[in-house]
Amino acid sequence: MAVLYRKELQGRVHVVDTDVNVHYTWIRIKRGDLRKLYIAICYFPSSYLMYVPLRESPYLPLHDDIIRFTTMQDIVLLGDFNAKQLCLTQVRLCMEN
């Protein structure tokens, strides 16, 4: 995962955290008003998500991070989440695995 930003932001943009499977990276931007903005840049490949049991969903750690970072300042989530609705049969299959 890469982050491209303007030269003027150098020194104000920092990588804060990356999940172990590199599905998302959190960056922090110090704004002019001294507040901080936390941005999660996400990519969840659909081929990976189709075979992961629900209890191992990569969205669960992201959920925990969202709660953690919202207590600090403002957050933005962006990227490709490949969030699809599953039919009940697919949910049962995932839960059995």
Using pLDDT thresholds of 50, 70 and 90, give the confidence band for residue 75: very high
Domain boundaries, the chain: 8-96
- The continuous run of DSSP H or E covering 47 comes out as helix 46-49
Per-residue pLDDT tens digits for 50-68: 666 667 777 888 889 999 9
Angle at 48 between CA 17 and CA 26, to 5 degrees: 15
**pTM for this entry:** 0.72
